[in-house]
Chain A
Amino acid sequence: MSVEISASGEVADRLAAVGALRRLADRLEDAAVEEAMRSGWGWPQVAEALGVTRQAVYKKHAKRLIAAGVALRRRLG
């Protein structure tokens, strides 16, 4: 993945880019959090690495990862 910021172009393209970047960020987050939890990270570390609260990361990912059979470390705090 390569990134070069371009602020030019049609406004419709730039608006669409915002939506696409949000979707991309969500997909990257889902995959990265799953990978981290599968390799033994705890919720506090994942949360700090993402720059969000533990509650936020737990609420967003716990159900999916439990259903996916990921062995989660006990939630601390």
Chain B
Amino acid sequence: MSSFDHYLQRILIAAAAEARAEGSATTEAHHVLLAIAGDGSPSLAAAGLDHAAVAAALDREFARSLAAAGVRVDGGLPRATPLSDGSPQLGATAKAALERGFALVQRKRDCRPGHVLLGVLLAPVGTVPRALELAGVDRAGLAEDVRREIAGGGDDR
């Protein structure tokens, strides 16, 4: 396996763990973003988006979206014991993000970790763009940073 394959596998395993912890039956794009932030991404870090910041932004998006239906959750949600093993299926939004990222390169061997992040960041609509907007993140600027990181070879993990 190439180092990119190892990276992708590590991120998808971490993303599946995020999904399980949330009680989600599928791994979605926002779980992939959490995994990338937790793994450490220079571009995300430069934008102030560590794992905790991404998690906080996603919580706000959840609350905001519920509020659009007139639902307010006070004092947090009741907690359930998460599934301890087994892998959630890759969900529609995570698949779309990966496809978007892979479509940015001509040949598979040109894939870099940044392309996975770009695939997540470039989603036109959905949970991730909404969460980043609520967090005041300049998504286009962040995507440019990631592209520069890839082009500069600083992304050859």
Contacts and interface: CB of A to CB of B under 8 A. Distances in A.
Given A9-B68, A17-B66, A20-B66, A64 B73 contact: no
Interface in B2-31: 22-25
A16 B84 contact: no
Contacts of A13: 64-65, 68
Interface string A1-33: 111111001101111111111011011101111
B68 A6 contact: yes
A6 B69 contact: yes
A49 interface: no
A5 B23 contact: no
B68 A24 contact: no
Main secondary structure of the interface of B (DSSP, over half): loop
Interface string B35-70: 000000000000000000000000001101110111
B65 A17 contact: yes
Interface in A29-77: 30-35, 63-65, 67-68, 70
A24 B77 contact: yes
Given A21-B71, A31-B77, A67 B66 contact: no
B111 to A, nearest CB: 29
14 contacts: A14-B68, A16-B61, A16-B64, A16-B68, A16-B127, A16-B130, A17-B71, A18-B69, A26-B23, A28-B77, A31-B78, A63-B86, A64-B80, A67-B83
Listed from nearest, the 7 A-B pairs whose CB atoms lie closest are A30-B80, A20-B65, A31-B78, A17-B69, A13-B68, A68-B81, A16-B65
